[in-house]
Amino acid sequence: MQKRKLGKSNLEVSALGLGCMGMSWSYSPIPDRNEMVSLLRAAVDRGVTFFDTAEVYGPYTNEELLGEALAPYRGRVVIATKFGWAPASEGEARWSRLDSRPDHIKQVVEGSLKRLRVDAIDLYYQHRVDPEAPIEDVAGAVKDLIQQGKVKHFGLSEASANTVRRAHAVQPVTALQSEYSLWFRDPEKEILPTLEELGIGFVPFSPLGKGFLTGKIDEKTTFDSSDFRNTVPRFNAENRKANQALVDLLQNIAKKKNATPGQIALAWLLAQKPWIVPIPGTTKLHRLEENIGAAEIDLTRDDLGDIERAAAHITVQGARYPEQMEKMSNR
The pLDDT value recorded for residue 88 is 72
Residue of 258, 265, 272 lying closest to 301 (CA atoms): 272
How does the average pLDDT of the chain come out, rounded? 95
Per-residue pLDDT reduced to its tens digit, 210-259: 999 999 999 999 998 888 899 999 999 999 999 999 999 999 999 999 99
Give SS3 for 187.
helix
Q: Is 125 helix (H, G, I), strand (E, B) or coil?
A: strand
- What's the confidence (pLDDT) of residue 268? 98
Q: Is the dihedral of CA 176, 182, 184, 187 positive or negative?
A: positive
Residue among 216, 207, 213 nearest 279 (CA): 207
- Cα–Cα dist 309/306, whole Å: 5
Q: What sign has the CA pseudo-torsion 12, 13, 15, 20?
A: negative
In this predicted structure, the answer to whether residue 3 has a pLDDT above a threshold of 70 is yes
Domain ranges of the chain: 3-326
What is the CATH code of the structural domain delimited by 3-326? Answer: 3.20.20.100
pLDDT band for 140, please (50, 70, 90 cuts). very high
Its pTM stands at: 0.96
Please state, in angstroms and rounded to a whole number, the distance separating the CA atoms of residues 100 and 84: 5
Enzyme catalytic residues: 57
Pairing mode of beta strands 121-126, 18-19: unpaired
For residue 171, which of 135, 202, 201 has the smallest C-alpha distance? 135
Residue 90: its pLDDT value, please? 64
Q: What percent of the chain has pLDDT over 70?
A: 98
User: Residues 86-125: pLDDT tens digits?
Assistant: 987 666 666 779 999 999 999 999 999 999 999 999 999 9
Does the pLDDT at position 296 exceed 70? yes
What is the average pLDDT across 135-159? Answer: 98
pLDDT band for position 143 (50/70/90)? very high
% of the chain residues with pLDDT over 90: 90
Among 19, 43, 48, 56, CA closest to 204: 19
